[in-house]
Amino acid sequence: MQIPTFTVDAFTDRPFSGNPAAVCLLESDLNEDVHQKIATEMNLSETAFIRKLHPGDDFTKKNTNAVLTFVTLSGELKARRMEDHIVLDLPLYLTYPQLLQEVEDLIKAAIGDMVVQDLRYSPDTKKLLVRLSDAYERSVLEELQVNAQRFLSAEKTGKVKGLILTLKGNSSGKHKGHDFYSRYFAPWYGIPEDPVTGSAHAVLSSYWSEQLGKKEMLAFQCSRRGGELKISLRNDGRVDIAGQIAIVLKGNLTL
């Protein structure tokens, strides 16, 4: 069996940046064991399997109105094409003030003695949002050396499963145009640092929309690979998070 397979860098228009994922186009069902073996072989954090719902469906036909529904461990994820972007339809997660004393060791393990401007927690996602002082530049966040494995022993509440570091964007300078920046760490799930994270931006979108008074925003995740996300809050309590893609590899997987 030949399975058309692609490696796609998401939230970027340049190869070797953004969030890498494998995409496999299936003509028929495969059992879960084969899915897992393919994902292991691809050796990327995400492997998506797209299957035809009807025999007459054509993978090669461009349909800008098509909506793909992915079944994930976190529930259904819907994606659609909009011009040269792929748009993810995600729930918007609210954040609430978090007492520093409860997570002080975790924050110190992450950023040392850096100044924290705001601290929030998302109970729906178990993500802790740490906003660094507006006095810091983007380069400070990019160059910050983080040993995420230390988080596992430093987090004593048992309620944090993801750590977001975020910084307000600059209105001038080299990187003007981005409303906010972030980095995301989830060693509790075996992810020391995620290159670009849609689910974290479902939290960040809520927070920064409140802070900036905006529903349309442009964000940049400052991981080593880096990625840009276009954010649009909707009136139904959800958020559209869009990004470009770069296809860096295509071929056939032989079973």
In a domain, 84, yes or no: no
Residue-number span of the structural domain to which 52 is assigned? 2-77+244-254
CB contact burial 123-147 (16+ within 10 A = b; e otherwise): eebebbbbbbeeebebebbbebebe
**Are 223 and 250 in the same domain?**
no
**Are 191 and 209 in the same domain?**
yes
**Are 103 and 70 in the same domain?**
no
**Are 107 and 226 in the same domain?**
yes
In a domain, 220, yes or no: yes
**Are 37 and 100 in the same domain?**
no
**Are 131 and 163 in the same domain?**
yes
In a domain, 198, yes or no: yes
- Please state, as a whole number, how many other Cβ atoms lie within 10 Å of the Cβ of residue 223: 20
In 98-179, the DSSP E strands lie at 116-122, 127-132, 162-168
**Are 101 and 206 in the same domain?**
yes
Terminus-to-terminus CA distance in the chain, angstroms?
5
Structural domain total, the chain = 2
**Are 106 and 186 in the same domain?**
yes
CATH number of 23's domain: 3.10.310.10
Determine the Cα–Cα distance for residues 86 and 9; give it in Å rounded to an integer: 12
Q: What is the pLDDT along the chain (255 residues), one digit of tens a residue?
A: 999 999 999 999 999 999 999 999 998 888 999 999 999 999 998 999 988 766 666 665 666 567 888 887 667 888 999 889 999 999 999 999 999 999 999 999 999 999 999 999 999 999 999 999 999 999 999 999 999 999 999 999 999 999 999 999 986 666 668 999 999 999 999 999 999 999 999 999 999 999 999 999 999 999 999 999 999 999 999 999 999 999 999 999 999
**Are 130 and 250 in the same domain?**
no
The per-residue pLDDT for 68 is: 84
To the query of whether residue 46 is one of the catalytic residues in this protein, the response is: yes
**Are 107 and 208 in the same domain?**
yes
Q: Cβ neighbours of residue 36 under 8 Å, at least 6 residues apart?
A: none
In a domain, 82, yes or no: no
Per-residue model confidence as pLDDT tens digits over 147-204: 999 999 999 999 999 999 999 998 666 666 899 999 999 999 999 999 999 999 999 9
Catalytic one among 27, 32, 46, 193? Answer: 46
**Are 45 and 158 in the same domain?**
no
Determine the Cα–Cα distance for residues 232 and 206; give it in Å rounded to an integer: 10
